[in-house]
């Protein structure tokens, strides 16, 4: 008499179809995190793929499954870290935008999403390595600056409105970014001597900009 039931013929549990993709994504993220650690510690020129692989806990050949070379690895590091922030700027909310509200959102975005994360380390890398490696600066300009400046300029144009003061802000949106770059450089160079209260710096700068716009807008 043959045995029946689930004893000998139990169905094998099915593997989750996304398991492989999730593991691959996690491995890729680990490689990017290790690359950032190595670039930050050794600089772009001295960083080797072998060192990134050892820090990530993978074989050197595994990195080449994801990235063609060190340049491609650095490019993806910049793209994956900062492109999501730029994409938000490029899709502004509908309706009215006030200058005070816009400056507040930009301040909070920088403090929480950039300075409060390792994204600031990517920016610091570009600032330090860009002068020696023009290709690094060129890629960052194309991927980040050339997208962010027009997006912020359009937001400022909507916030300032026709006939109001603030033409300088629309022409030079870099004025808004200036204290953010100061904060990144200050932390790298002087934080061990004196900590800079970054959110306070950004808010003070925004208040100065708002006053300048109000004064110009109320002039003859």
pLDDT greater than 60 at residue 63: yes
Buried b (16+ CB within 10 A) or exposed e, 14-52: eeeeeeeeeeeeebbeebbebbbbbbbeeebeebebebb
Q: CA nearest 178: which of 147, 153, 202?
A: 202
Do residue 166 and residue 187 come from a single domain? Answer: yes
Q: Report pLDDT for 16.
A: 44
Do residue 41 and residue 59 come from a single domain? Answer: yes
Do residue 40 and residue 144 come from a single domain? Answer: no
Please state, in angstroms and as integers, the Cα–Cα distance from residue 171 to each residue in 156, 157, 181, 202, following that order: 9, 9, 19, 20
pLDDT greater than 50 at residue 1: no
Do residue 106 and residue 171 come from a single domain? Answer: yes
Q: Where does residue 175 fall: left (phi above 0), alpha (psi -120 to 50 degrees), or beta otherwise? A: alpha
Do residue 125 and residue 162 come from a single domain? Answer: yes
Number of domains in the chain: 2
Do residue 122 and residue 42 come from a single domain? Answer: no
pLDDT band at 215 (very low <50, low <70, confident <90, very high): low
Q: What is the radius of gyration, based on Cα positions, of the chain?
A: 24
More confident residue, 2 or 70: 70
pLDDT in tens, 12-60: 444 444 578 888 999 999 999 999 999 999 999 999 999 999 999 999 9
**Domain with 30 in it: what CATH number?**
1.10.10.60
Q: What is the mean pLDDT of the chain?
A: 88
pLDDT greater than 90 at residue 68: yes
Least confident of 17-21, 106-110, 121-125: 17-21
Name the residue range of residue 190's domain: 77-218
Do residue 89 and residue 194 come from a single domain? Answer: yes
More confident residue, 7 or 116: 116
Do residue 95 and residue 198 come from a single domain? Answer: yes
pLDDT greater than 80 at residue 11: no
Do residue 54 and residue 84 come from a single domain? Answer: no
Q: Report pLDDT for 10.
A: 44
Report the C-alpha gap between 166 and 164 in whole angstroms. Answer: 7
Report the C-alpha gap between 171 and 191 in whole angstroms. Answer: 32
pLDDT band at 178 (very low <50, low <70, confident <90, very high): very high
Q: Report pLDDT for 18.
A: 54
Please state, in angstroms and as integers, the Cα–Cα distance from residue 50 to each residue in 35, 57, 99, 218, following that order: 10, 10, 48, 61
pLDDT in tens, 130-139: 999 999 999 9
Question: Is residue 179 within 8 Å of residue 205, measured between CB atoms?
Answer: yes
Domain contains 41: yes
Domain contains 167: yes
Do residue 139 and residue 180 come from a single domain? Answer: yes
pTM of this structure: 0.82
The pair of three-digit structure tokens given for residue 9, joined into one six-digit string:
């013929």
Q: CA nearest 151: which of 210, 106, 207, 92?
A: 92
pLDDT band at 218 (very low <50, low <70, confident <90, very high): low
Do residue 57 and residue 160 come from a single domain? Answer: no
pLDDT in tens, 78-95: 999 999 999 999 987 788
């Amino acid at each position: 008499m043959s045995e029946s039931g689930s004893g000998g013929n139990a169905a094998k549990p099915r593997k989750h179809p996304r398991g492989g993709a999730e593991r691959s994504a996690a491995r890729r993220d680990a490689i990017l995190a290790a690359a950032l650690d190595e670039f930050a510690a050794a600089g772009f020129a001295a960083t080797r793929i072998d060192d990134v692989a050892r820090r990530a806990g993978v074989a050197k050949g595994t990195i080449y499954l994801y990235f063609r070379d060190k340049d491609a690895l650095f490019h993806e590091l910049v793209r994956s870290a900062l492109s999501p922030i730029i994409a938000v700027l490029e899709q502004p909310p509908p309706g009215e935008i006030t200058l005070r509200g816009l400056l507040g959102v930009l301040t909070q975005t920088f403090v929480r999403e950039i300075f409060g994360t390792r994204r600031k380390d990517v920016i610091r890398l570009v600032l330090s390595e860009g002068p020696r490696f023009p290709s690094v600066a060129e890629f960052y300009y194309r991927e980040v600056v050339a997208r962010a400046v027009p997006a912020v300029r359009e937001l400022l144009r909507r916030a300032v409105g026709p006939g109001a003061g603030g033409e300088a802000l629309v022409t030079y949106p870099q004025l808004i970014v200036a204290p953010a770059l100061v904060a990144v450089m200050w932390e790298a160079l002087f934080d061990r001597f004196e900590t800079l209260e970054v959110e306070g710096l950004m808010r003070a700068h925004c208040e100065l900009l708002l006053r300048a716009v109000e004064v110009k807008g109320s002039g003859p």
